Amino acid sequence: MLNNIFLLMRQELTLSVLIFLLLFIKLGRERSNASILNFINIALLLNLIIGLLLSTKGDLFSGMFTTNALIILEKNILNLAVLIISMQSYAWLKNNNQVIEFYLLLFTSLLGMFFLISSGNLLIFYLGLEMSTIPLAAAANFDLSKRKSSEAAMKLILSSAFSSGILLMGISFLYGTSGTLTFSILTAHIGNNPLQIFAFILLVSGFAFKISAVPFHLWTADVYEGAPVAVTSFLSVVSKAAVLFTFVSILYKVFQPIASTWYLILMILAVVTIFIGNLFAIRQDNFKRFLAFSSIAQVGFILIGISGSSIAGSASLIYFILIYVFSNLAAFGVVSVVSALTGKENISDFKGFYKTNPLLSWVLTIALFSLAGVPPTAGFFGKLFLMMAGAAKGNYGFIIFAALNMVISFYYYLRVVKAIFMEENETPIEKISIPLVSKLAMYICLVGILVTGFATIVYDYIYSLSFGL
Amino acid sequence: MNLSLLILVPLITALVILFAKGLKQIRVIGLVGAVTQLSLATWLLKLYMGERASGNNDTHLFESNYTWFTTLHINYHIGIDGISLAMILLTAVIVVAGILVSWTMDKLSKEYFFLLVLLSMGAYGFFISLDLFTLFFFLEVAVIPKFLLIGIWGSGNKTNSAMKLALMLMAGSALVFVGLMGIYYSTNTFDLVQITHMGISVGVQKFFFPFAFVGFGIFAALFPFHTWVPDGHASAPTAASMFLAGISMKLGGYGCLRIAALMPEAANSYGWIIITLATIAIIYGAFATMMQTDLKYINAYSSISHCGFVILGIGMMNKTAVNGAVIQMVSHGLMTALFFAAIGMIYSRTHTRLVAQLGGLLKVMPFISTVFVIAGLCSLGLPGFSGFVAEMTVFMGSWQNPSGAYRLATILSGASIVVTAVYILRATGKTIMGPISNEHALLADATWNEKLAAGLLITGILIIGLAPFLINQLIMPSTNILMSPITKAITLK
Amino acid sequence: MQEITLTQILFVSTALFFIGMYGLFTRRNLITMLMSIELMLNSVNINFVAFNKYLYPEKLDGLFFTLFIITIAAAEAAVAIAIIINLYRSHNSIDVDDATEMKY
Amino acid sequence: MSNYLYILWIPLLPLLSFVILGLFGRKYLSKISGIMGTASLFIATLVSFIAANQYFFVDGKVNGMYQKIIAFKYTWLEFSPNLSIDLGFIIDPISVMMLVVVSSVSLMVHVFSLGYMKGEERFATYYSFLSLFTFSMLGLVLSANIFQVYMFWELVGVSSFLLISYYFDRPSAVTAAKKAFIVTRFADLGFLIGILILGYYGGTLDIGLLIERLTATQSTPFISITSASFLGASMLTWGLTLIFIGGAGKSAMFPLHIWLPDAMEGPTPVSALIHAATMVVAGVYLVARLFPIFSMDEAALTIVTYVGVFSALFAAIIACTQTDIKRVLAYSTMSQIGYMMFALGVSKNGGENGLGYMASMFHLFTHAFFKSLLFLGAGSVIHMVHSNDMRDMGGLRKLMPITHISFLIACLAIAGIPPFAGFFSKEEILMAAFRANKIIYGVALFTAALTAFYMFRLYFSIFWNKETPIHFNNTDTNNLDLNVHSHGEGPWVMKLPLLILATCAVGVGFIPFSNFVSSDGLALEAHTDLVFSIAPVALTIIAILIAANFYKKQNAKSDKIAASLSGLYTAAYKKFYIDEVYIFITKKIIFPYIGQPIAWADKNIIDGFMLLLAKVTSNISVSIKGLQSGKVQNYALYFFGGVLALSVLFIYIWK
């Protein structure tokens, strides 16, 4: 039993160990930021490796904690993302005197996400959710001096509290109608009665809030803009990914009985999300805000994929998220480096960027192309497979709409590329010397972007795992 | 021979260019790659003709088929028939010419050549793929380089043109994608060959044909989705305009042809719309050209008019017309590339493209002027040049369709040759002939690389124009194979 | 007197929920807004307890859930108040309308 | 059937010289290019004479009937199994006749140009273009496939374009060239559609087969093409008329003649070759080539007749008023071609009824010689006077005797004075007209008189009339080249052609033409009965006397006449304002009311629509930005709104 725990929960355990180590380091004598950061990055790498080692499946605590190959894979993706983020934020954290606090918050929230993903019970689910959100609210406020930072944190904590209130209401109704909190049992009691539909809608709205689907998305842009870049990228990639994983597994497993209903709901959400996200993204000048809205639009496409409600659906979702991790983090990486070293965060500042920083420009461009879904980047495949999964239901009006919206999204991504390559700027961003670690992270992202698409093994692997869903 | 070479060579070229130093190395590498590709293509032609001569009647030769995404039934399935081989040859020739004319591109030359090669790679991949997904993949691969080429190295209102072009082409490929989805979910495969065998239910065809066809049509400057053509071509640097008009628009025509062949019933029942649009494009393009004052705009609009013939031929859905359409694609590719090359040479010397400011160039630059005239004569369909062969074949084919309306369309499009004569002669008369202005009196004639490029293209034009039976041998069997079941299917219905 | 029915309790909890929501929407003071959110959470608690008692008295899931909710609400409040204090440092006010710098 | 493959050389030699001179002439062999071109053409001419000899006198005739021989045939472009362009060379009386005409006239012009174009900068280019033209013309007359005709037709057109615009830095020349090309192109469109129609119904493009199928009244093609009708006319009529339009365009028939006078901007030898002897008669040749089919359709023939006769008269009237000598000749050409056309029009197929056909070909033959002679003569005159305007000339007979004599002969020939060549052919034509239709005959007669009048007006005002004080009056030439040119009439290379052609103009009339060329290949005996020829000859002589009276000495009579019928005179002088009509249609209608609107629409409507899409999108995005108000309470509100909306939708609407 015990070694079974060590086996099944190893990712959570390593992470917790790491957290405690950080606490002790904090208590211990002063150390240079650089050494701490290196230690943490190495630790994260180990964590990732440990996760990759072997994949098992099983339940713990009478089904409250379940895990299987797919879930482990998902957690690994999250680990990878966190590793990349921490490598990228090297430049920002190097002369920040609360590095450890920052990581503590980050890791706690990550730990929460792990529990969230492998939750087999509404209670754990709720705990994981909150555990992943609350530290982030604190982290969003990490630039204590910045007005925007605190405003962002306030908005995040209040709206997330509100949403969790709504979510809990839903859970309580589910409990009331079914009398159980365990997913496996719950499924049997799910039917089409109004109260459960209502409960389900409340639950979905809670999810929609976390993955920032319209109209539950409004906090996103502000928080992304206000929070430090590292936190923003964490929010936009990691927490979104975690919630999506859970969302899909809950939809497919627990709420299969009312699939026809949630298919419609997802469709409505997807359409509105893509459309609003695109329309807002067109106008943005602040890079983080821009990425916020673009990622909202991306979520819309993800919802299309999920709505396929098939193995292909979940497979394409995970595949896309893997790619999304690379592309979005590459973009954020460049932004974080630039904003950390020059404090410039606006697209208009990036005019003539290519003249001064060709490497960064190419990284950013490729990342954006991948986000836009242009071959030969992986984004093309990811987006395409999502659409294909969605089209499987045969609702083509929906696909046409999405396809045409891809053109709009294409417009605003190209807008940035245009600024970088084609526009003149009297005060361009000066040549930036990137820390080695961050450069490494960028290369990882690049390789990911360029390889993941062609390496069919990735998709096939995910697909094969998705049966275990 | 393994067709993947056709993709590998450009790929390797591009990678080597990335590690090259300085314009001198880069352009040489680019040229070497392009020439290798051209020789590959010609060798392929030889092999192909050999196969056919030895009585191999398969639809596609040199097929190879690898699974790519098993679970999604996506294969990397490549193979060629006469049509695609013609397109490949066209591409190869134009690439060589394009690299030659941009021999002295010193602004960001590495990126420039890299993108050119990448674009060509997309085209090659597109033409050899027999799997709709791969097709689509390469179609989109070819879009981005255009955007960057125009936006960075272009002239005039370049960013807007680039943006417009990229967005419209993207919209096109989005429509194509919708069409592909329809096909995929009705046949559960992307494989062209299998789909052709299976056939698609008429209902599905009726619904999805417009998407796919219009989608590709946008690439082929189908009226009224042609507006990216003039600005795009006008703003692009010379080589890019050559590639755009010579290669990229052909992607569209080729795609339209494939789609029409996949969904014959739909193509037939929508035929009258297609033909109407094509006719409008032809006439309208011609008249619009007549009003232009900028050489590049003249050629761009005339491209709209000429590509109308491609669409017309496809819309007529009979062997001769389709044959003509294919020949027209090749011919127009060479011709318009030649035209853009000539314009580029003139522009690089006189620094103006406005007809009004030019004149009497024949005095100072006889070679370039001759090239210009030849391109012009080819474009107005003079016998001995490829244009004549192509257009006449299209006319002949479309006239075989006894319906009165189609006859009318044929006559109207035929009338365009008069208008063509008008605008070509006006351009020639004003720029090449007439008194020369003083500030142009001391300009130099073409350099060796320009001569080589022009010579190459002219050779292509002449080969088709003087010995059309050669290209017919290449194309006609394939068009027959392509169309014969279709004509059956249509008559059956 | 006859005993209270589940419906009545649900009515109370629902009322509480919407009172909280109303407070959240209307109050300008961040602390008050936080309190209104607590109201909403509490209404959920009532729900859980009521369901547990009336419908599924043989198990204690509801009650446990309530305990966890209370705990987490406390944690949430702590973080929220910390943030509000920090906000006050930078804005010199805890009026929500003063913290609308980022928009559109 | 004997082997005629060697006639391949006839077109090939000029082609070779074109290629060689075109590629290397300018740089390497500009000196000898003239010689090369001439030499190659000389050989070609020899070969064509050999061919003619073999055909007419050795083995062309099989039991009294001239055969159609396909010298060789190669499928050049296959449209569909039965429709294909076969490059083939047909040998039959008219093609051989044309071979002789084209090659020999062209040779003359080549020789003449050696002197005339001497010292030109683009000498080699000139010769390469000449060779190109000769090649295409020879190819045209030999074509065995109607589409092949069309191809060479176009080539002829373009080479004419190149030659007219030879002085490319002269805007007038360029405009003239453009005009020529575009007008003929417009006509060619008719030709093309005609081909499509005939090809579709005949199921072939081979002329022989086509004739076979479309003349057999029982054959399905014939029935289908005659039964199918459009706007009341049968498809046969349509096809033939359209083809005739093509011919009319090249042959400068009214109303497509406007390009011909302007085409005189080209070098004079070019005019002699293209716009007098060869290209302009291509239309006649085309009709003759398809004559059996034409003869099956009365309506088409009628059109041919009336267009022909009208053009003849119309041109003659204008010619009386022009003062530019080349233009006078141009209009006379147009008029003479009118003769040929209506001669074809009044003819029937076969036997004695085929007289018109024969006459037309005969006239084509003779006309080629004396008209090119006239042009070359005019050329040497211009070469000397450096002016085209007859008012700058006069009394040149002493200065240039040879030119004078040859010119006179040519004039007599064209006027139709026995025993000069023109007489015989014109007699035949008048005869045919007389038999067919008296009105036509009358008009033709009158036109003949006019012809005589204006030709001699020209003759007298060049060679007699006032003395041109040529040594002093040099308005448009500088003294230097005046001294070079003014004594004598140019080198021998310029005189020789004149002499040769003059002898032809005298001699060729005596050829028993009807034995060789006839509509059905059977010989018909020529009949020139003196009784019939009295009327025309008398009329002609009177006309000549009038001309002499007016123009032999410098006097005001002509002006008086002009004044007396001022309206007609000015109208004729202004070529009856046809040009103005065309200019009005193009410049005032097509450009402003078709071209510009389309160009405008493309910029504003179609492109505008695309831009509008973009604009609308961005406007929407601006208008909804209020959604993101920055107030966290609104966010919560929207959140709740979303929940509410979904719940309502799914609980109350879609249960």
Percent of chain A exceeding pLDDT 70 equals: 99
Residues 612-651 of D with CB under 8 A from A: 614, 617-618, 620-622, 624-625, 627-628, 630, 632, 634-636, 638-643, 646-647, 649-651
- What's chain C's average pLDDT? 92
- Is the interface score ipTM higher than 0.95? no
Residues from chain A contacting residue B147 (CB–CB below 8 Å): 414, 417
CA distance D625 to chain C (A): 5
**Does residue D468 register a pLDDT over 90?**
no
Percent of chain D exceeding pLDDT 90 equals: 17
Which one has a higher pLDDT value, D461 or A202?
A: A202
- In total, the C-beta contacts within 8 angstroms joining chain B to chain D are 125
**Does residue A149 register a pLDDT over 60?**
yes
CA nearest C97 in D: which residue? D631
Rounded CA-CA distance A136/A145 in Å is 17
Residues 70-109 of B with CB under 8 A from A: 70-72
**Does residue D80 register a pLDDT over 90?**
no
- What pLDDT does D577 receive? 81
Partner-chain contact A422 B174, CB within 8 Å: no
Q: Name the residue facing A216 among D632, D642, D655 (closest C-beta).
A: D642
- What pLDDT does A29 receive? 79
Candidates A136, A168, A218, A346, partner chain C, best to mutate (most C CBs within 10 A): A168
- Residue A376: band (very low, low, confident or very high) from pLDDT cuts 50, 70, 90: confident
pLDDT tens digits along A429-458: 888 888 899 999 999 999 999 998 888 888
Mean pLDDT of D472-494: 52
Residues 195-234 of D with CB under 8 A from B: 196, 199-200
Q: Which residues of A touch D (CB under 8 A)?
A: 154-155, 158-159, 162-163, 166, 192, 194, 197-198, 201-202, 204-205, 208-209, 214-216, 218-219, 221-222, 261, 264-265, 268, 276, 279-280, 282-283, 408, 411
CA nearest A411 in D: which residue? D614
Token pair, residue D624, equals 């909804």
pLDDT tens digits along D10-46: 889 999 999 988 888 777 777 788 888 899 999 999 9
Through-space distance between the first and last CA atoms of chain C, rounded to whole angstroms: 57
Partner-chain contact B181 A459, CB within 8 Å: no
Which one has a higher pLDDT value, D389 or D648?
A: D648
- What pLDDT does D486 receive? 46
- Residue D483: band (very low, low, confident or very high) from pLDDT cuts 50, 70, 90: very low
| Chains touching D (3+ CB pairs < 8 Å) | A, B, C
Partner-chain contact D632 A219, CB within 8 Å: yes
Q: Is C24's Cβ below 8 Å from some Cβ in D? A: yes
pLDDT tens digits along A57-88: 888 888 889 888 889 999 999 999 999 999 99
Residues 436-465 of B with CB under 8 A from D: 436
CA distance B209 to chain A (A): 14
Which one has a higher pLDDT value, A469 or C49?
A: C49
**Does residue D487 register a pLDDT over 60?**
no
Candidates A175, A219, A284, partner chain C, best to mutate (most C CBs within 10 A): A175
- What pLDDT does C1 receive? 65
Residues from chain C contacting residue A147 (CB–CB below 8 Å): 90-91, 101
Residues from chain B contacting residue A463 (CB–CB below 8 Å): 71
Burial B271-290 (b: 16+ CB within 10 A, else e): beebbebbbbbbbbbbbbbb
State which H helix or E strand residue D83 sits in: strand D83-91
Q: Name the residue facing A463 among B71, B185, B207 (closest C-beta).
A: B71
Partner-chain contact B211 A400, CB within 8 Å: yes
- What pLDDT does D485 receive? 43
Rounded CA-CA distance B42/B92 in Å is 9
Mean pLDDT of D537-554: 84
The residue segments making up the domain with residue A78 are: 2-465
**Does residue A462 register a pLDDT over 80?**
yes
Candidates C18, C55, C58, C83, partner chain A, best to mutate (most A CBs within 10 A): C83
Residues from chain D contacting residue C103 (CB–CB below 8 Å): 628-630
Partner-chain contact D642 A208, CB within 8 Å: yes
Domain locations along chain B: 5-492
Q: Is B151's Cβ below 8 Å from some Cβ in A? A: yes
Mean pLDDT of A24-33: 84
* Among B259-263, B318-322, B392-396, D589-593, the least confident range: D589-593
Q: Name the residue facing A162 among D617, D624, D636 (closest C-beta).
A: D636
Q: Global pTM?
A: 0.91
- Residue D480: band (very low, low, confident or very high) from pLDDT cuts 50, 70, 90: very low
- What pLDDT does D528 receive? 62
Spell out the SS3 assignment of chain B: CCCHHHHHHHHHHHHHHHHCCHHHHHHHHHHHHHHHHHHHHHHHHHHHHHHHHCCCCCCCEEEEEEEEEHHHCEEEEEEECHHHHHHHHHHHHHHHHHHHHCCCCCCCHHHHHHHHHHHHHHHHHHHHECEHHHHHHHHHHCHHHHHHHHHHHCCCCHHHHHHHHHHHHHHHHHHHHHHHHHHHHHHCCCEHHHHHHHCCCHHHHHHHHHHHHHHHHHHCCCCCCCCHHHHHHHHCCHHHHHHHHHHHHHHHHHHHHHHHHHCHHHHHHCHHHHHHHHHHHHHHHHHHHHCCCEHHHHHHHHHHHHHHHHHHHHHHCCHHHHHHHHHHHHHHHHHHHHHHHHHHHHHHHHCCCEHHHCCCHHHHCHHHHHHHHHHHHHHCCCCCCHHHHHHHHHHHHHHCCCCHHHHHHHHHHHHHHHHHHHHHHHHHHHHCCCCCCHHHCCCCCCCHHHHHHHHHHHHHHHHHHHCHHHHHHHHHHHHHHHHHHHHHHHHHC
Q: Which residues of A touch C (CB under 8 A)?
A: 122-123, 126-127, 130, 134, 137-138, 141, 144-148, 150-155, 157-158, 161-162, 164-166, 168-169, 171-173, 175-176, 179-181, 221-222, 225-226, 283, 289
- In total, the C-beta contacts within 8 angstroms joining chain A to chain C are 124
Mean pLDDT of B179-206: 89
Residues from chain A contacting residue B207 (CB–CB below 8 Å): 396
pLDDT tens digits along A165-208: 999 999 999 999 998 899 989 999 888 888 999 999 999 999 99
Partner-chain contact B422 D591, CB within 8 Å: no
What chain C holds in terms of domains, given with CATH numbers, is 6-98 (1.10.287.3510)
Phi then psi for residue B69, to 5 deg, are -115, 100
Q: Name the residue facing D621 among A205, A261, A283 (closest C-beta).
A: A283
- In total, the C-beta contacts within 8 angstroms joining chain C to chain D are 26
| Chains touching A (3+ CB pairs < 8 Å) | B, C, D
Partner-chain contact C86 A168, CB within 8 Å: no
**Does residue D356 register a pLDDT over 90?**
no
- Residue C59: band (very low, low, confident or very high) from pLDDT cuts 50, 70, 90: confident
- What pLDDT does D655 receive? 65
Do B and C make contact via 3 or more CB pairs under 8 A? The reply is no
* Among A366-375, B432-441, B472-481, D559-568, the least confident range: D559-568
pLDDT tens digits along B123-171: 999 999 999 999 999 999 989 999 999 999 988 888 999 999 999 999 9
Q: Name the residue facing D630 among C21, C33, C102 (closest C-beta).
A: C102
pLDDT tens digits along D232-284: 788 889 999 999 999 999 988 888 888 888 888 888 888 888 888 888 889 99
Partner-chain contact A150 C55, CB within 8 Å: no
Residues from chain A contacting residue B137 (CB–CB below 8 Å): 375-376, 380
Partner-chain contact A418 B167, CB within 8 Å: no
Q: Name the residue facing A403 among B141, B162, B174 (closest C-beta).
A: B174
The domain total for chain A is 1
- What pLDDT does D567 receive? 77
Mean pLDDT of D621-628: 88
- Residue D476: band (very low, low, confident or very high) from pLDDT cuts 50, 70, 90: very low
**Does residue D358 register a pLDDT over 70?**
yes
Residues from chain C contacting residue A154 (CB–CB below 8 Å): 30, 80, 83-84, 87, 96, 99
Burial A362-392 (b: 16+ CB within 10 A, else e): bbbbbbbbbbbbbbbbbbbbbbbbbbbbbbb
CA nearest C86 in A: which residue? A150
